[in-house]
Structure 1
């Protein structure tokens, strides 16, 4: 058992690998009423290739839906029986199943492991699900916020699996078969490609024993090397325009990052703080654009840095789309000039970010959802606080020059239909 201790915060993270390769991470929170657990698979919407065969887009999300649907029951009903709320989600590079409960932790943990590790698919159930997910896709296609984000991502990565929505398309999901689901499940849902994270009022040794006993009662195929999709993208789509049922125009700028920095936590923290220093509410640039009517409270930005990709999206509603694009593009391209004398503001941003991380320590969901995997030494919010403290303004300038390249900026606009 590995223990990562954070004496300053009076916290410990316990880690153990089961004989079958399943990683188990436990963060005990004494005195908390609730326990939260996630079982995550390193498998997301971009992972459509298995040993040279390409599977339909949206299959990871489709598989996530079908995992709950057993031969004679719905797994969610079992969680409800034991007083837990359950859910699941699929992202570009991960699928996670979760529950939250104030009681019956052992029973709910058993159900989480069992329903994810015991698949059941039938032709009839697969066909029925196509209609359900097809409606979901249609709904997202009509949702301006989703279109603004996903079309911007697609503009940055048009020659990769990121070019398709996580749920796939109505055409792609209708190609999915029962065998496709079993193929994908058997390849990606191997214990050594999964991680169980439990946070709450629990005893780590008890969790490890429960999980070990559960896994020892099951048989698994011989482990196979899992080859994830690598995003090798050399193209971008500079600009796209859409017309939808919106009251006001929407616009987004996307910045495509250099793949060599994928998964680099220091790079991720530096770029996130850089964007906050430049464009967070309260910054000089934000205040000026707000007062000039170029942005309003709808404006926001996000930076996503994963092992397979990294990018930022900055978006909002505005009647002054051209000024939005010109002003923010200028800030991004000339960022070093804007922040060179902002040492005091940078220290304030750092303190605010550390404060947010400290607040996250009180959220068992935040602790679990921000726990990295074995490849990143299970880095977490406690590790990130120390990293943030060590960052200097020069780090932001150095990484910013690597990230904010004019030829890697894309635009996406949505106008009212009329």
Structure 2
């Protein structure tokens, strides 16, 4: 199960330490032990509560007869008169757990660094803010950064370094995960770099142009994949979707990126989580 997988455990353990005492800290992925405790009643209750057509969205991508598909689903009369919108409680932030670790069967230590923002992001700004933070952290830690190249050449990290950016109107965070033989030293180095991002020599107009062109290329290449479009498409409150990415990228300036960094980092929290070999 996912909690038995080191990479999944690294991500969700870090997320739990970013948002302790909230639903985001709840184990939703499970281990073999926890899954074995689920009974038929649990499954039936959840199916009845959540797995209704009125709670679902259908998004189709490909070459098909749109009217025929629409007529088919309309003929099924999937409306549910008993529908009640789920009330979403406000997320109250608790103090983070700054550092934590555990041991698992891994060949090399795994490190995660999470940054939790405290300031709200409006629903209308979520997608643009997501892009801005991806650009910022790509400039600082991506493969074109001087920091990545030095760490890679010295054997401190490998190509496993990845970036996760999650932006909603209720919460937002950035997470870096990587395999490294020097998790303590690298965590200190990376966390210090994040706090002092305005002084980072990799955050320049020239480097931003490189990252934007790279993102452009990845976008147009991904348009060849129906699976990518189906899984990445999302419509935000202001109507923006992934198809607006090229236009948004063209409008973004270095000042915009730095403003997004201040919004996240200035009064944000930074944690780290390490998985050591058992």
TM category (shorter chain) comes to: 0.7 to 0.9
Distance 2:247 2:12 in 1: 33
Q: Which residue of 2 aligns with 1:174?
A: 37
CA RMSD of aligned residues (A): 2.5
| 4+ residue segments displaced more than 6 Å | none
Aligned length: 275
- Quote how far apart the aligned CAs of 1:158 are: 1.4
Larger Rg: 1
From 111, 127, 141, give the equivalent of 1:279.
141
Give matches, 1:10-409, under 5 Å.
136=1, 140-168=2-30, 170-171=33-34, 174=37, 178=41, 180-214=42-76, 216=77, 218=78, 220-258=80-118, 260-261=120-121, 263=123, 264-338=126-200, 342-373=204-235, 376=237, 379-405=240-266, 408-409=269-270
Q: Equivalents in 1 of 2:224, 2:114: separation in Å?
A: 33
Instruction: Name stretches of at least 5 consecutive residues in structure 2 with no aligned partner.
Output: none
Counterparts in 2 of 1:207 and 1:238: CA distance versus 1, 3 Å: same
Distance in 2 separating the partners of 1:267 and 1:257: 12
Q: Which has the higher contact order (CA 8 A, sep 6+)?
A: 2
TM-score by length of structure 2 reads 0.87
Query: Contact 1:262–1:305 (CA<8 Å) still a contact in 2?
Result: no
1: CA distance between counterparts of 2:95 and 2:269?
9
| Cα distance change of structure 1 residues 262 and 174 upon mapping to structure 2, 3 Å threshold | farther
1:5 — aligned with what? none
- Alpha-carbon distance, 1:234 to partner: 2.2
Q: CA deviation at 1:280?
A: 0.7
Q: 1:176 to 1:232 in 2, by over 3 A?
A: farther
Gaps of 5+ in 1: 1-135
TM-score normalised by structure 1 residue count: 0.60
Shift of residue 244 of structure 1?
A: 2.0
Decide which structure has greater strand share: 1
In 1: Cα distance, 2:202 partner to 2:109 partner: 33
